[in-house]
Structure 1
Amino acid sequence: MRKAYLAILKIFILAYAFSLANSSVFAQDNTLFFKRYNRMNGLSQNSVYAIAQDNLDFIWLATGKGLNRFDGYSFTNYYHDFDDKESISTSRVVDIAVDKWNRIWLATDGGLNYFDYEKEVFYAYNKTDNDSTSISGDRVKCILVDKTGYLWVGTRTGLNVSILPLDSLKNLPTDKLKFKRINQDLLSNKLITNLFEDDNGDIWVGTVNGLNKIEKDNFTVEQYFFDKKDRGFSLDNQITSIIQDRDRKLWIGTLGGLYTINTDDYTIDSFKNHPFFKTNIRANSIYSILIDHIGRLWIGTNGGGLLEYHAETNSFTVNRNNDGNIHSLTNNAAFTLFEDRSNNLFVSMFGLGFCVTNIKAHKFSLYLHENYNQNKLTDNDVRSILADNQNNLWLGMQDNGLYKLNLNNKEHVHFKLEQLKQNETLPTVKCICSEDSNHLWLGTLTKGLFLFNKKSKAIKEYKYEEGKLEKSISYV
């Protein structure tokens, strides 16, 4: 199901690349192709605060009015029901975490919740008077399951960590979940905005006024301020996002700018003097930061669009809303960023749902555009796509057979598949699936299923049989 969704998204992106290929100018900005989702598609509300993926590959989206489970096609909505004690404790959900047992942990305005898959019920953990092992407040802002299985819960009134790792609590809620409250006097502020664990196992705690590093062994806390002249509620000290790159450098987003922390000597650098941020003032307000599967940095801003950072040139590409392009971002406020296991990049748009693009297909689409003229690729519709392990891209075309694009040497080969012609028309290849390193399954629009030998170019037909094999094959 998820693979089919990925294939559809890639097809849209490649079709977009072919349309770009006919233009003489290919701007560096707005190079991504997005598919938009909102309430019209079944999302419970358009304000998406957090996105996560579970162990079954469902996408979970936290909104201001309900929790959503997305399978790539449709949404399942979960709301608070006053008459159902097993429903979520409140419909306003602001953060999501998934543990190794596939329990969905939720930060809500009505306490900490988790969703039990087997029973299809929600359980809530709330602040209890005179119980110091309960969480410090019911307005939960962020949650983190660390590498050793401990659950961290940030609230408007302090930070909490589970006394036992979740691995030892396999039978929740029968097993009591208890918390240790971190001394508020040690933190720069008690209103916690985000949590992150670095490669040393230290916990970084963002607040509305400063950043904190907690060493888990002894719970010592070190504070960091980015506007050292004003340790009040400066925009530069309001932490929105924390991430670590492959060089172990921490990237910190604040409402006043982008910063880095060198984890060797903990020196701080600012991007305020970078030419891009000097000329794009609204991009200085950072909402979210993501490091993708190849180590590339993405930055969501409040009004400046979605930024892609190119470390080799110390430059940025910007993706913004374009009113005339329904495949651009819906606005310029990229609130939350998330990459799933199929390399789909999810971008929640402030108050306007979310957008999705596939990062790998984006690379392919740029290749297609850059090589369109020299390779004389047709502008027929792309109906299917497959990337094999030899770095070839296989494209099934509308009424035009099959293309192979070699991404190493930029050569392409057109297989017309003339033996599959019908009424002088080349076949439409609706789907492609790899059997092994040398064979491809080809599903066609009207001719059924075929096995294609990549070395010999031989094709074996699997004939149509009523009730067994259809003439039109959409998935293999």
Structure 2
Amino acid sequence: MSAMIDSRRRWRLRRGALGALATLVIALRAPLAAADQPPRAERFSFRRLGTADGLPGDSVYCMLQDGSGYLWLGTFSGLARYDGSRIVVYRPVPGDPESLPSSLVFDIHEDSSGTLWIATDGGGLARYSRDSDAFKRFTHDADQANSLASDRIFAVADDTYGWIWVGTADAGLDRLDVVNGTFAHYGAASGLPSDTVRALLCDGDGGLWVGTTAGLARYDRDGDAFTAVASIGTVTVRALASDDDGAVLVGTEGKGAFRLDASSLGASPLMLGTGSGRLLVRALAKDDYGRIWAGLDDGGLRILDPGSGALASVRTDAESPGGLSHDAVRSLLVDRSGLVWVGTRGGGAAAYNPRSKAIARLAPEGGLPPFEIRQILEASDGALWVCTDGGGLVRASARGEINVFAHDESDAASIPGDRVICVAEDRDGRVWVGTDGAGLARLDPSTGGFERFARNPATEDSLGGDTVWALLVDETGVLWVGLEGGGLDRFDDETGGFAHHRPIHGDEGSLSGNSVRALLQDSRGRMWVGLWDGGLTLWDPAAGKAIARFKPSSDADSLADASITCLLEDGSGRIWAGTGGSGIDRVVEVGGDIRFAHLSMADGLAGNDIVGALEDGRVAVLLHV
């Protein structure tokens, strides 16, 4: 799908880009705070990441997003670093002491200084250096009492005092002094319930929790010893996670999961559905909606909303290629964008977007006209307005209810034409609709009727043309209308007439072309006008004249193309202009001078015909046909 979205939540789909579109899947983009309003039916669709994508192995036992945003995945075939498009793999290299010491990676941890620590089974502990892209190994040495107690490491964490804690498979818990590289050892004599440490957690208050094969223990810093948590019992603790209020979530082997009060040490079971008290919980996480995710040994996922008690169970479905990749869940991670990553044994990793809770599927069988979609607008009331090329205007409520506004020759208050190109909402909640050949219309939501505006050569202040390609309500509430062949019109709400702005030969204060395809008001209040036949005009909306006009020239840093298709201001205030055949340009302003930096297929774009530009929160995403 080729689309664009601007700061007013407007998507534009270029004519011809979709063919005969029969189904529309729309993210309503509900805020994360709306966790107390779950959807009627949530569809868990995952984006999978496996060996076919470059992972070294399909058993993902641990995951971490580091401070730079990279996703690290520990597998039984090496360590992977993922940047969203490319995977870099680290494995042991014979004869290279700075390579990863073992392919069996059980845990990854980033400490407060930004250093990465890798827990391996058989290779000890490794510290990763970003500067050298190499590993320093910490291993057991029988001749050194202060070396690592065992090379079989299951867990690693750091506390607020800068200590690195290392949980071993068979030699208790170690504490690393990073300054001198020595380890202190803790075992049964220190109150540890077992010498096999499966999970570690340093909570927000600095408390250290240790999950072992014989129960849970908390570190007493004053006594430099551990105290067993009686409420959890002597069960094997497989997973630990922090809850929002300082409580600790505890996943066990065969006893389900608990919520532990960090002050009273009282534990209450999490109600995870069928067999809740017998589940083997291998991983725990809490998403941005406040829901608790429990990864089961061979039973997929259980997802609990603590507030409502609502529970979802997610299992692998061979008939659903977008479903969970495997039922054997080994790790969970909620990244900073809110995506939930699920690491499995045998199925690689899979990412789920909780925002898809608010996704509704709109299709012809539900009332959506079976025509191409030109633009989508999310209105102030949460409804979606969908422009179709031949099916009129569609309103989809937040609940997915569809209402179609179609042209009716016998009804003067109906929409003037069914080929709808663009839509905008003004300050009063009125919806403006631009059509292909039938002019402009304004919908009164209270009556459902349209007031029509069309070109009338006998009336000077009538609409300047009947094909409306772009609409913009500026920061003062004024409506601007971009026309095919008719320039730019400004609507006067008091008189109901239009002021026309067209190119005038020799007048640098006029528009640079007749066909307006894109309109944008930037964060500085300036208005940018993208023209199909005249490049780009920087417009002063108050004065009603051009500040500057830009077209291609022999200068390398001039505008790349005279045909502008879309405009975007990103989160850093940079202006991007998509073109009809020369890629996308970024406006560069230095000392009041405006030049352009170019991106095209030569720089890695998949195509030079840019339909739309969308910022996803981290980078600008370009879409083309």
Please classify the TM superposition score into its range, dividing by the shorter chain length. 0.7 to 0.9
> Which letter maps to 1:62?
G
| Matching of residues 178-217 of structure 1 within 5 Å | 178-185=182-189, 186-217=191-222
User: Could you tell me how far apart the structure 2 residues matched to 1:94 and 1:66 are?
Assistant: 10
Match of 1:56 among 49, 68, 74: 68
1:80-134: CA deviation from partner (whole Å, max 9, x where unpaired): 0112222111111111011344332100121100111111111101112232322
User: Could you tell me how far apart the structure 2 residues matched to 1:298 and 1:145 are?
Assistant: 24
Greater relative CO, 1 or 2 (CA 8 Å, sep 6+):
1
Does 2:303 correspond to 1:305? no
User: Could you tell me how far apart the structure 2 residues matched to 1:442 and 1:40 are?
Assistant: 44
Structure 1 position 161, deviation (Å): 1.3
Question: Counterpart in 2 of 1:9?
Answer: none
| Matching of residues 58-97 of structure 1 within 5 Å | 58-97=70-109
| Matching of residues 47-446 of structure 1 within 5 Å | 47-109=59-121, 110-156=123-169, 157-163=171-177, 169=179, 176-185=180-189, 186-225=191-230, 228=233, 231=234, 237-256=235-254, 257-271=256-270, 274=271, 277=273, 279-280=274-275, 284-359=279-354, 361-365=355-359, 368-369=360-361, 414=423, 418-419=468-469, 436=523
User: Could you tell me how far apart the structure 1 residues matched to 2:149 and 2:70 are?
Assistant: 31
Unaligned runs of 5+ in 2: 1-20, 28-37, 404-421, 425-432, 435-467, 471-482, 485-518, 532-560, 570-575, 584-597, 600-607, 614-620
User: Could you tell me how far apart the structure 2 residues matched to 1:410 and 1:465 are?
Assistant: 39
Cα 1:471/1:180, change in 2 over 3 Å:
same
Cα 1:340/1:79, change in 2 over 3 Å:
same
> Which letter maps to 1:315?
A
Cα 1:450/1:125, change in 2 over 3 Å:
same
Q: What TM-score comes out, normalization by structure 1 length?
A: 0.73
Cα 1:138/1:438, change in 2 over 3 Å:
farther
1:155-175: CA deviation from partner (whole Å, max 9, x where unpaired): 121101123xx5xx5xxxxxx
Identity level (%)? 23
Question: Counterpart in 2 of 1:429?
Answer: none
Question: Contact 1:196/1:243 (CA < 8 Å) preserved in 2?
Answer: yes
1:406-433: CA deviation from partner (whole Å, max 9, x where unpaired): 97999999567752799xxxxxxxxx99
1:279-312: CA deviation from partner (whole Å, max 9, x where unpaired): 3469722111102234321111123321221122
Question: Contact 2:61/2:344 (CA < 8 Å) preserved in 1?
Answer: no
1:354-389: CA deviation from partner (whole Å, max 9, x where unpaired): 111122x32331xx35x889x96668899999999x
Larger radius of gyration: 2
User: Could you tell me how far apart the structure 1 residues matched to 2:374 and 2:97 are?
Assistant: 47
User: Could you tell me how far apart the structure 2 residues matched to 1:324 and 1:219 are?
Assistant: 54
Q: What TM-score comes out, normalization by structure 2 length?
A: 0.57
User: Could you tell me how far apart the structure 2 residues matched to 1:461 and 1:134 are?
Assistant: 59
User: Could you tell me how far apart the structure 2 residues matched to 1:379 and 1:219 are?
Assistant: 70
Cα 1:461/1:193, change in 2 over 3 Å:
closer
User: Could you tell me how far apart the structure 2 residues matched to 1:241 and 1:57 are?
Assistant: 24
Structure 1 position 32, deviation (Å): 1.4
> Which letter maps to 2:175?
V
User: Could you tell me how far apart the structure 1 residues matched to 2:163 and 2:134 are?
Assistant: 22
Cα 1:220/1:40, change in 2 over 3 Å:
same
User: Could you tell me how far apart the structure 2 residues matched to 1:382 and 1:255 are?
Assistant: 51
User: Could you tell me how far apart the structure 2 residues matched to 1:341 and 1:391 are?
Assistant: 28
> Which letter maps to 1:40?
A
Question: Counterpart in 1 of 2:48?
Answer: 36
Unaligned runs of 5+ in 1: 1-14, 170-175, 232-236, 423-431, 454-459
> Which letter maps to 2:259?
T
> Which letter maps to 2:236?
Q
> Which letter maps to 2:66?
D
Question: Contact 2:329/2:344 (CA < 8 Å) preserved in 1?
Answer: yes
User: Could you tell me how far apart the structure 2 residues matched to 1:191 and 1:62 are?
Assistant: 20
Residues matched between the structures, number = 418
Q: Which has the higher strand share?
A: 2
Q: Secondary structure at the match of 1:419?
A: strand
Q: Which has the higher helix share?
A: 1
